[in-house]
Structure formats: C-alpha cells, structure tokens
Amino acid sequence: SPSVNLRRFTGCAVREFTFLAKKPGCGGLHITTDACWGRCETWEKPIVDPPFIDSFQRVCTYNASRLVTVRLPDCAANVDPSYSYPSALSCECGVCQTRTTECITSA
Amino acid sequence: HEGLAPGCHLYPFNVTIHSDRRSTCRGTHLVYACVGYCESSAFPSRYSVLVASNFTHNITSASRCCTISKEAKVKVRLDCPRGRHHDEIEILTARACRCDMCRKSRY
C-alpha cells in the first residue's frame, strides 16, 4: 500500500511485479502478478576458530505460491500456447532452495 | 539491533577467548560484526531459466547480503591466574560493511 515507505521497509512482503512472458514461437504477454520483495536480516561475525567468519543469510522468497497458466498470443501452429508461472500467496525470509529456485546474488 | 535500519552496519560485541577448555587463561575484547538488512526479491523465472533447469526452477531469487567488506586483526591479551605468562591471540574484527554477494555455500 502507498502508506508503506519502501526506503525504510525491513522484512519480506508480497509485492506486485510485472514481467514479459514469452517463449519461442509465440508472442509476448505482459503479466502483472504477486512476487516477493524486502530486506531480510543477514550478518557476518568474526569467530575465534576456523573459518573465522560466521554468517547468517536469509533472503526474501516465496513461502506459498499457486501456479497460474495463461495463453500466449500469436503462437505458431505447432507450439503449445500455455505459459505457467508462480504467483506468491505469502513470502518469507528464508534459505534460497536451489531445488526449486534459481538463486542469484550480485555485488 | 539498532532500529531495524535498512543497510549493512558495524555492530559491536564482546568476544571472550579461553586458552583451553578449563579457561586457565582468558581475555575479552570488543570487536565488530556486520549486521543489516539488504534488498532481496523473488519473482517468476524467465523462459531461458526454465529451460536450462528442465522446468524445475520456476522462481528466481535475486539477493544481496550484509558482509564484511574490510577487516582487521586485533590482538586479544589472555590473562592467566596468579599473573603467570600472558598469551596473545589474534582475531578478526570488521572495519567496514557492505550489502554484497551472499557468499555462503549453504545459501
């Protein structure tokens, strides 16, 4: 909601996200859906024994989601027009699950 | 922690070091950790990510974590009973912090 100041927000919340759904053989479709955004607590702390730095890393990610399927426009005759994507029902600060999630991190 | 402020900040804490399990010699020193709240988000993966992951990674998580960007070694003096020898042990302390890559292997 507009009453939340995003610059000062800490925690992890459902937030609207717009992306272009496309795949080879079909036209693109702009989709607005619920995704996750926030700031989770993370830290690095010196410790006496190896590896000398202890760390705690949690990221804002999906807690529960539902799969939404849409039809992409202008698909070639031999191409399945359906496109599925997750829509967030709730979000949490948690470990990035490499089994279901592409975990990317940047400087 | 200090007001749950966004960003990644120096956080002082006392570390106590024992020379052995019986704590024959011990010393305490104020050192710094980096603690904070860095931005992260999770959203539907692009089609190229879906294909590359054999349609298992339908979520992409993009994140940064609070890390130690500059560190220094400090000497902690261990005081022994009855004024016997004084050992010194080096430990790390954070000098600067930054929201940066989430480096942890378990992340």
Mutate to test the interface with B, among A42, A54, A66, A99 (most CBs of B within 10 A): A42
What's the rounded Cα separation, in Å, for the pair A82 and B54?
17
**Looking at domain A11-94, does it have CATH number 1.10.530.10?**
no
ipTM: 0.92
Question: Which DSSP category does A34 fall into?
Answer: E
Compute the CA torsion angle A84, A34, A103, A44 (nearest 10 deg): -170
Name the residue ranges covered by the structural domains of chain B: 2-38+64-98
Give B 10-39 residues with CB within 8 A of chain A.
11, 13, 15, 17, 31-39
Average pLDDT, chain A: 94
Q: What are phi and psi of B18, to 5 degrees?
A: -110, 140
Task: Name the minimum distance, in Å, from the CA of B8 to any CA of chain A.
Answer: 8
Q: What is the pTM of this model?
A: 0.87
- How far is the alpha carbon of A78 from chain B, nearest alpha carbon, in Å? 18
pLDDT digits (tens, 9 = 90+) for A37-61: 999 999 999 998 888 999 999 999 9
Listed by start position, the domains of chain A span 11-94
Assign B25 a pLDDT band (cuts: 50, 70, 90).
Answer: confident
Nearest to B60 by CA among B49, B45, B50: B45
B16 φ, ψ (degrees, to nearest 5): -115, 130
Check residue B48 and give its pLDDT: 96
- Yes or no: say if A42 and A60 are a contact pair by the CB < 8 Å rule: no
Question: Class of the B2-38+64-98 domain?
Answer: mainly beta
Which residue in A36, A59, A91, A92 has the most chain B C-beta atoms within 10 A of its own C-beta, making it the best mutation to test that interface? A59
Count of C-beta atoms within a 10 Å radius of residue A49: 7
